[in-house]
Amino acid sequence: MKSGPNDDVTLEGEVHRVTFQNIDTGFRIVQVKADGAKSAIAVIGNFPEVRAGSRVRVRGKRVVDEKYGEQIKAETVLELLPSTLKGMERYLGSGIVPGVGRGFAKRVVEHFGLSTMRVLDEQPERLGEVQGLGDRRAETIARHWKQHLQVRDVMVFLEAHGASGALATRIFKRYGTEASTIVSREPYRLAIEVTGVGFRTADKIAAGIGVLPNATERLQAGVLQALSDASEDGHTALPKEMLLERSLALLPRGDYQPEQDEIERAITALLLRGFLQPGIGNDGSDSVLSLRHLHAAEKRMAARMFEIAHAKANPLSGVDEAILRFERDKHVQLAPAQRAAIAAAAAHPVLLLTGGPGVGKTTIVRTLLALFKGANLTVRLAAPTGRAAKRLSESTQQEATTLHRLLEFEPRGARFLRNDARPIEGDVVIVDEASMIDVILGDALLQAVSPSTRFVLVGDVDQLPSVGPGAVLRDLLDSRLFSSVRLQQIFRQDEASLIVKNAHRINNGEMPQKGEGESDFFIIERKTPEEAKQTLLEVVCERIPKRFGLDPVNDIQVLTPMHKGAIGAQALNEELQARLNPHGKAIEAGFRQFRVGDKVMQLRNNYDKEVWNGDVGRITSFDEEEAKFEVSFDEGRIVSYETNAADELTLAYACTVHKSQGSEYSAVVIPVSTAHFVMLTRNLIYTAVTRGKRLVVLIADPRAMSLALAEKRRGERFTQLLPALLEGEQRGFATPAEA
């Protein structure tokens, strides 16, 4: 292959081996021997599945990797039928057709020779001629081969109209053999219905099939995409002016620039078709717009909250006796605000409990458990993440589960088995870390809570809001329609903690105090990202372990505002891996490299393995022959992974503050730099600081800290839950007294 680095190349050849593939993402590494070449070359990228023995046409760029040498970074990989007897035999025996292994493949090719592919395509009934195949197996093979041809035809169509191999795979996974028809008639459905496909990608395909830039369906799709993008930023609605602005920025193509009146007509049409819903803004105006499914979810949540709050529930008696018994047994004395919270939970079906660190939320939950147990009520405890559920279970000495497990999430159907027709079994549901609940999860939870069930939400409304859209806890509290308690007093056992004091200072917009000597809170000033990184590495790898006796891997967690950048999670993980685990046995998984001994984090819920998004563990072993490695999670639970499923994990020496929600660590080290400007807010720093139990170290540029402490409203979200609740109040629901 006579070409230089980054040159465009096209080659045809036979796939000799599939080195790595991830079925979910479409990322693959295959070895292809080009026609006339002496050896195979690695082809890497996202493209449809190909089999050993198949012929492929590869278009892409030649690259030279420092470690792996010459490769082709594929833009498209199109499967062709094999043309040699050996290739046909390998192709048919690769598992592409169920029921045909290497033995039967050899018989089929020996019988039909170079006509094998033509017979399969045009005369599959002739398979019965092959000795030992049998009519039933021949029919099965013919049926599967026909399905394979349909897949191949769809892939050819999609790639011909601008879809990358990875995108074609996702489109086919969503629509099956109907993909060609749907893409031809409604290309913008891709942006709404196919995971990972945005408007611009769908627009590229639409342009390829002749959709004009000012086409009605294109303008409407752009408006819907603008609202969908807003939901990624946490909004469930947008003021019309903001929606117009976002849509106008999204819809130019070539020389075409949309006019505002064109967008307004698109909005009007979407309202008439029911794809958009009007609503009430945070300022009381009536000019906000929501996507249909988010609007419906917030309406349902408001209705169910009223059902629960106004269900007939007998107030619990013996509250004072239960409190005295708890105080005596646990050797504590509850403060007036804590007693008020217990009384509110006894008197009302709903309690919203919020407050920062050290204010006694856990003590109240433990007292409530004693109260409910004394009343013979069954209590279910839950939290949004596995780590938060584990903490809740440890602090209460009672089983707690993730919300997904409580709701019996069924991954194949992507649905919750607990719902209004089959509610959660229990007299009381208590959910911790409620600030992490978004609209989608909150809707599912509330529909599964029977109106006769007591419902307690516990959280810190000043922390970062949920990663998904909405501000559920904030809106419920702001409505003032449900019994609520906000705890503010720091109790004696936490008064000596500078972590707790500084968390409250940060929450009030005040600069945290520097600790000295045996303090649990330190601030190290560094003005440039590079200085901050070098200091961070020294603090994590040397200074904290030496002074405090903490293990740099198990006990210390680096929390950073961003994933990318010089002091983002990705770069810091690479540096910390090199320093803390330089000699662990390497595990190659695509472009990722893990090592035995690495600290890793699960990136998404895996219900088969029973590991959850945010779970952290250590890689304990690697079997090269089996291409499997094992991870030890909390409590010594061992989970096995195949190397081609390694994208479920990431290095976890450092993680983003968002990823740390619901977790606690013995020590946290937090870089705060002006390089993080776009992410710097007061509640982000507050959330990071409140993750530390024994030690917090801020490595901060004073300018960046000042920016963060002054920025309180950047995280404001436009939602419709609060207006829906207030609308319910206007319809005549009584307002419980606030405790």
Give the tens place of pLDDT for each residue, 694-720.
999 999 999 999 999 987 655 689 999
Contact 354, 477 (CB under 8 A): yes
% of the chain surpassing 70 pLDDT: 92
Q: What's the pLDDT score for residue 739?
A: 38
Q: What's the pLDDT score for residue 23?
A: 62
> What letter represents residue 495's amino acid?
E
Measured in degrees and rounded to the nearest 5, phi and psi for residue 488 equal -130, -25
CA 530-532-534 angle, to 5 degrees, is: 70
Higher-confidence position of 365 and 75: 365
- Smallest CA-to-CA distance from 313 within 434, 477, 485, 455 is with 455
- Average pLDDT on 577-592 reads 85
Give whole-number Cα distances, 669 to 357, 551, 653, in Å.
Answer: 18, 13, 11
Q: What's the pLDDT score for residue 2?
A: 45
The radius of gyration of the chain from alpha carbons, rounded to an integer in Å, stands at 29
- Smallest CA-to-CA distance from 420 within 387, 443, 390 is with 443
Give the tens place of pLDDT for each residue, 483-528.
999 998 887 556 678 999 999 999 999 999 998 888 999 999 999 9
The Cα 613–Cα 608 span in angstroms is 13
Contact 563, 615 (CB under 8 A): no
Assigned token pair, 550: 């903490």
- Average pLDDT on 560-579 reads 93
Give whole-number Cα distances, 235 to 196, 269, 362, 720, in Å.
Answer: 19, 22, 30, 9
Q: Is the pLDDT of residue 143 over 70?
A: yes
Per-residue pLDDT band for 642 (boundaries 50, 70, 90) equals confident
User: Do the strands 599-602 and 238-239 form a parallel or antiparallel pair, or are they unpaired?
Assistant: unpaired
Using the Cα atoms of residue 433, residue 438, residue 441 and residue 443 in order, give the sign of their dihedral. positive
Q: What's the pLDDT score for residue 715?
A: 64
- Average pLDDT on 22-35 reads 79
Q: What's the pLDDT score for residue 703?
A: 94
Q: Is the pLDDT of residue 734 over 50?
A: no
- Average pLDDT on 68-82 reads 82
Contact 222, 247 (CB under 8 A): yes
Q: Is the pLDDT of residue 576 over 50?
A: yes
Average pLDDT, the chain: 87
Q: What's the pLDDT score for residue 733?
A: 52
Contact 677, 599 (CB under 8 A): no
CA 529-532-534 angle, to 5 degrees, is: 110
The Cα 375–Cα 346 span in angstroms is 10
- Average pLDDT on 66-84 reads 81
Give the tens place of pLDDT for each residue, 216-270.
999 999 999 999 999 988 999 999 999 999 999 999 998 999 999 999 999 999 9
108-139 as b/e: b if 16+ CB within 10 A: bbebbeeebbebbeeebeebeebeebeeebbe
Which range scores top for mean pLDDT: 87-91, 161-165, 734-738? 87-91
Give the tens place of pLDDT for each residue, 439-485.
999 999 999 999 999 999 999 999 988 988 999 999 999 999 999 99
Q: Is the pLDDT of residue 1 over 50?
A: no
The residue with tokens 């499997």 is 628
Which range scores top for mean pLDDT: 75-79, 440-444, 729-733? 440-444
Residues 675, 676, 678, 680: what is their CA dihedral angle, to the nearest 10 degrees? -140
The Cα 378–Cα 7 span in angstroms is 67
Q: Is the pLDDT of residue 287 over 90?
A: no
Per-residue pLDDT band for 614 (boundaries 50, 70, 90) equals confident
Per-residue pLDDT band for 738 (boundaries 50, 70, 90) equals very low
> What letter represents residue 308's amino acid?
I
